[in-house]
Amino acid sequence: MDWKKKVQGWLTRITPTEKMDQQDRAALLMSLEGSNTGDRWRAAQALGAADPGREGVAALSAVLSSADPILCWEAAQALAQIRTPAAEAALLNAVSTGNIGAKTAAIDALGTMAASPDTLAALLGALENRSASVRQSAAEAVARLATQPAAEGVPSPGPETAAALLDLLQSDDAPLVRRAAALALGHLGDPVARDALEASQADDREDPLVRKAAGEALGRLHRLELVQETTLPDSSVEQPVEEVGEA
| 198-216 core/surface letters (b: 16 or more CB in 10 A; e: else) | eebbeeeebeeebbebbbb
Alpha helix positions (H), 146-192: 159-171, 175-188
Q: Give pLDDT, residue 14.
A: 46
pTM of this prediction? 0.82
Would you say the C-alpha torsion 138, 142, 143, 144 has a positive or negative sign? positive
**Integer Cα distance of 177 and 200 in angstroms:** 13
Helices (H) and strands (E) in the chain, counts: 13, 0
CA atoms within a 13 Å half-sphere pointing along the CA-CB vector of 120: 18
pLDDT of residue 190: 86
Q: For the chain of 247 residues, list the mean pLDDT of each consecutive stretch of 10.
A: 54 52 86 92 91 90 93 96 94 95 96 90 96 97 83 75 96 97 93 94 96 95 76 55 51
What pLDDT shows up at residue 13? 46
* Structure confidence at residue 17 (pLDDT): 47
Q: How high is the pLDDT of residue 1?
A: 46
Position 16 scores a pLDDT of 46
What is the C-alpha to C-alpha distance for residues 61 and 58, in angstroms, rounded to an integer?
A: 5
pLDDT at 223: 84
